[in-house]
Chain A
Amino acid sequence: MASVLETEYVGRRRPLFRLALVSSLLTVLTLGIYRFWMKTRLRRFYWSSIRPGGQPLEYVGEPMEKLLGFLIAVVFLAFYIGIVNLLLMFVSFSFFNTNLWAYALSFVGIVPIIFYARYRARRYILARTRWRGIRFGMDQGAWSYAWRALVHWLVTILSLGLLWPRMTFWLEKYRTDRTWFGSEKMQQGGRWQMLYRPYLVFLAGLVTVAIGGVVTFQGNVVAGGGLIVFGVLLTGYGLVHYRVHAFRLMTNTKNIGGIGFRSRPRPWRVLRVYSMGYGLAVLAIVALLTGLGVLFYMAILGGQPVGEDVDLTLIGDNVPWWVNTVFAMVTYFSLFILWGVLTHVLVTLPLARHYAETLEITAPAGLSGIKQRHRDDMEHAEGFAEALDVGAAI
């Protein structure tokens, strides 16, 4: 076996575009029920695009088990969300004369469940991922994870964000140390301090914004404004810089039975994917809106120019209400479908490709000793994550 396994990426935009478009159309037409199938099919595509050492990953999750998990979550969460929200609204208006407290309390109440759901979703996804025919897996521990995540967030907020890298490290370590590939357990090495250097760019951005604020306050608006603009841009880049390097450092210090990883993603490349991808998606949306606007204008005014004799407030009055409704619905849904499909093709796929192509597996000889692990049934699948909309990016 070669001393290093490189990762190939074979996903192409055109088939992904077709898959995403067809499945989002079906999702809208089935009032959202098809979304479980859509998610499954997209994951099959994305997983199989990644081929470490030439062998594709396989996603074996089933739409039906997602539906079942979702239904189970609904039974429990419907009660919580319906009754608790109503009570909170009542309490909030009784004592504070505003609904802001209700929203805030409702959010605080749901936060632990969001962390819980995230861990469960990751466990489900790993349990349904295979490489070389061997299952990944994750130990139970979602409530313990939710509790840790709460404390880490509290510490991070109290430290004004200075201890963010510490949270990144310990939460990722918690998840990694419970991850399995077949019979081998994964381990997270390294120290949290190693994440601090890439974090400095982000901090520098924040400090620049603060200095800009002070300078503006003291009267030098031009210099202060310039500093603020520069600081905001630096903070934005710093965020991407931190996330990319944190991923790199955390990946390079993971190992699984002596098998290691070498990852080299580049922040500028990731930033380019984000800005180009979202930029193009916005352009496409604007083009669609313009096209629909022209169409509507032609249909209603018969193409006659808008002169002073046309009362704009009367537009729509002579059109049957259902034409307006259908037109509004078609516009609304095409915007959402187009946006979803384009972000898959222009952002998610190029990002996945970049992270995959810059990943190597070192010392793969250890693979020969790895045996299959039992199937994790997970009847709840990722139901809670699905219901609360906090699932993985895909």
Chain B
Amino acid sequence: MSETVIRVGRSAPVLRSFADYLDGEQALVQRVELEIVETVRGPELVIRPPEAPEVRWPLDDIRVVPDQAGKDVLMLRLADDPVSRLLVSDEEARAIIRARCPNLHQRPPVKKRARLLAWSLGAVASVGLIIFVLVPLLSDRLAVFLPPEGEKALGDVTFEQIRTALSDNEFLPVAVCQGRSGDRALAVMQARLQGKLDLPYPVSLSVLDHKMVNAFTLPGGRVILFRGLIDAAETPDEVAAVLAHEVGHVVNRDPTRSALRSAGSIGVLGLLFGDFAGGTVVLFLLNRLIDATYSQDAEAAADAFAHQALADAGVPPSALATMFERLLEKGGDADGIVAHFQAHPKLGDRIRAARQADRLLEAPASPVLNDVQWKALQGICR
């Protein structure tokens, strides 16, 4: 009596076909016969080369090689065999293999996981060390040694870049305001504040015809006030307070340090992000973020300098607080993510500190400009 194997359910499709086989040892393409057989270990694909012993691939271990351009060929490999390949072009055979191999699209496990992790940490540590420790340390040390002419050149280059960047018209940089009587009023204010201060180089002060309520300092003692700031101020003392703060940056050489720092850190960031979608915007934002974290201390130091300088000049330091309050009304304090992109620490704290600084005043305060001079300053851009 002969034994009969009785299958339950739909019978599996029979595969009998031919394919190209690459054994990964010689540069020969072997035309092989394919067959799927059922064994006790599970179904297997039998590959029979014409002149070599047959090879058996368990269906569970067969993988398809991904992202192939030609859809007329199915390229198969064995999970743990890096070299041999089977190229099936017969349409029916491809359909059967797709239907019967359950793990065709399983990805190979990640090799060298530990090394990958170690070098990731290494890269993060090295970039962090360079951007947050070495570059700031080095630029703080070097800024002092940069000759004043070099610093001036650095400031001039940046000044022109900023004038162009702020303008709506690429060919027409934002105008520098020069009203004779206005300039004279500025000079009076500057002389009163500077007094007998020991500055690395003279402060050169300009007003830009732009509506922004802001002021900034560039390397080489170049301080820039925006027209918007003068318009927003209600007394000359408030403008003087901002000026004193900026002179604080000059004394501490903050802009020079910051310029050297971005020379170092922007290159490293570029290295990290590569040509990812051009990357320029991302680089710019990241550099702002890093710069902002450096500058929190610099801002606090410039405030402290301003408090003392204002008190020495007989101007109440609380004028700075008044100016900050106007800023708050105008834009509101920035919280969360936005705060990180702004160089200035929380305004509330700085307002409190400026109010308390009024006790530094030794003589009674007097306005920094008289009414005529103040009018002249307000009209400097007209």
- On whether the two chains bind one another, the answer is yes
Interface on A for B, CB 8 Å cutoff? 10-12, 15-16, 19, 24, 27-28, 31-32, 35, 41, 44-46, 48-49, 51, 55-56, 58, 60, 62, 64-65, 67-68, 71-72, 74-75, 77-79, 81-83, 85-90, 93-95, 97-99, 102, 106, 130-134, 181-182, 313, 329, 332-333, 336-337, 367-368, 370-372, 375, 379, 386-389
A68 and B271: CB pair below 8 A?
no
Closest to A312 in B: B168
Our pick among B22, B157, B168, B278 for the contact of A99 (Cβ within 8 Å) is: B157
Is B162 positioned at the interface, with any CB of A under 8 Å from its CB?
no
Question: How many Å from the CB of B126 to the closest CB on chain A?
Answer: 5
Q: How far is the CA of A72 from the CA of B278 in the complex (A)?
A: 23
Is B99 positioned at the interface, with any CB of A under 8 Å from its CB?
no
A72 and B276: CB pair below 8 A?
no
Question: How many Å from the CB of A343 to the closest CB on chain B?
Answer: 13
Give 9 closest A-B pairs by Cβ, nearest first: A133-B22, A32-B276, A86-B264, A97-B153, A93-B150, A44-B67, A89-B263, A10-B70, A49-B69
A-B contact count (CB 8 A): 201
18 A-B contact pairs sorted by A residue (CB < 8 Å): A32-B274, A48-B70, A48-B75, A49-B69, A68-B119, A74-B272, A75-B123, A78-B126, A85-B267, A86-B263, A87-B142, A90-B145, A90-B260, A133-B85, A182-B27, A368-B27, A368-B28, A372-B26
Q: How far is the CA of A354 from the CA of B116 in the complex (A)?
A: 39
B263 and A389: CB pair below 8 A?
no
B274 and A85: CB pair below 8 A?
no
* Known A68-B115, A75-B119, A133-B85; contact A94-B147, beta-carbon cutoff 8 A: yes
Our pick among B67, B120, B279 for the contact of A48 (Cβ within 8 Å) is: B67
Q: How far is the CA of A373 from the CA of B149 in the complex (A)?
A: 62
B138 and A386: CB pair below 8 A?
no
Is B110 positioned at the interface, with any CB of A under 8 Å from its CB?
yes
A19 and B126: CB pair below 8 A?
no
Residue numbers in A under 8 Å from B26 (CB-CB):
134, 368, 370-372
| Interface stretch (choices B127-135, B241-249, B350-358) | B127-135
Q: How far is the CA of A267 from the CA of B259 in the complex (A)?
A: 48
* Known A75-B122, A97-B150; contact A83-B135, beta-carbon cutoff 8 A: yes
B260 and A86: CB pair below 8 A?
yes
Question: How many Å from the CB of A302 to the closest CB on chain B?
Answer: 23
Residue numbers in A under 8 Å from B115 (CB-CB):
68, 379
Is B252 positioned at the interface, with any CB of A under 8 Å from its CB?
no
Instruction: Select the residue from A67, A90, A329, A337 with max chain B CB neighbours within 10 A.
Output: A90
Residue numbers in A under 8 Å from B275 (CB-CB):
389
Our pick among B73, B131, B276 for the contact of A31 (Cβ within 8 Å) is: B276
Is B68 positioned at the interface, with any CB of A under 8 Å from its CB?
yes
Our pick among B25, B85, B265 for the contact of A82 (Cβ within 8 Å) is: B265
Is B191 positioned at the interface, with any CB of A under 8 Å from its CB?
no
Is B24 positioned at the interface, with any CB of A under 8 Å from its CB?
yes
Interface on B for A, CB 8 Å cutoff? 20, 22-29, 65-73, 75, 82-85, 87, 110-112, 115-116, 119-120, 122-123, 126-127, 130-131, 134-135, 138-139, 142, 145-147, 149-154, 157, 168, 259-261, 263-265, 267-268, 270-279, 281-282
Residue numbers in A under 8 Å from B135 (CB-CB):
82-83, 86
Q: How far is the CA of A87 from the CA of B270 in the complex (A)?
A: 18
Closest to A56 in B: B70
Closest to B68 in A: A48
Residue numbers in A under 8 Å from B120 (CB-CB):
71
Question: How many Å from the CB of A353 to the closest CB on chain B?
Answer: 11
A93 and B154: CB pair below 8 A?
yes
Residue numbers in A under 8 Å from B70 (CB-CB):
10, 48-49, 51, 56
B147 and A82: CB pair below 8 A?
no
A133 and B23: CB pair below 8 A?
yes
Question: How many Å from the CB of B209 to the closest CB on chain A?
Answer: 14
B67 and A90: CB pair below 8 A?
no
Closest to B119 in A: A71
Q: How far is the CA of A379 from the CA of B115 in the complex (A)?
A: 10
B274 and A35: CB pair below 8 A?
yes
Question: How many Å from the CB of B249 to the closest CB on chain A?
Answer: 18
Q: How far is the CA of A387 from the CA of B272 in the complex (A)?
A: 7
Residue numbers in A under 8 Å from B260 (CB-CB):
86, 89-90
Residue numbers in B under 8 Å from A24 (CB-CB):
277
Residue numbers in B under 8 Å from A49 (CB-CB):
69-70
A58 and B75: CB pair below 8 A?
yes
B134 and A83: CB pair below 8 A?
yes
Q: How far is the CA of A57 from the CA of B260 in the complex (A)?
A: 49
Residue numbers in A under 8 Å from B67 (CB-CB):
19, 41, 44-45, 48
Our pick among B68, B116, B146 for the contact of A94 (Cβ within 8 Å) is: B146
B25 and A372: CB pair below 8 A?
yes
Question: How many Å from the CB of A232 to the closest CB on chain B?
Answer: 26
* Known A48-B68, A90-B260, A132-B22; contact A81-B268, beta-carbon cutoff 8 A: yes
Residue numbers in B under 8 Å from A367 (CB-CB):
27-28
* Known A67-B116, A74-B272, A386-B274; contact A371-B122, beta-carbon cutoff 8 A: no
Residue numbers in A under 8 Å from B68 (CB-CB):
44-45, 48, 56
Closest to B281 in A: A332
B123 and A93: CB pair below 8 A?
no
Q: How far is the CA of A134 from the CA of B265 in the complex (A)?
A: 44
Q: How far is the CA of A60 from the CA of B268 in the complex (A)?
A: 30
Residue numbers in B under 8 Å from A85 (CB-CB):
263-264, 267
A389 and B27: CB pair below 8 A?
no
Q: How far is the CA of A28 from the CA of B87 in the complex (A)?
A: 35
* Known A64-B116, A75-B126, A133-B85; contact A99-B142, beta-carbon cutoff 8 A: no
Q: How far is the CA of A133 from the CA of B278 in the complex (A)?
A: 37
Residue numbers in A under 8 Å from B20 (CB-CB):
55
Other than the given A27-B276, A372-B25, 4 more pairs (CB < 8 A) read A51-B70, A82-B134, A94-B145, A133-B84
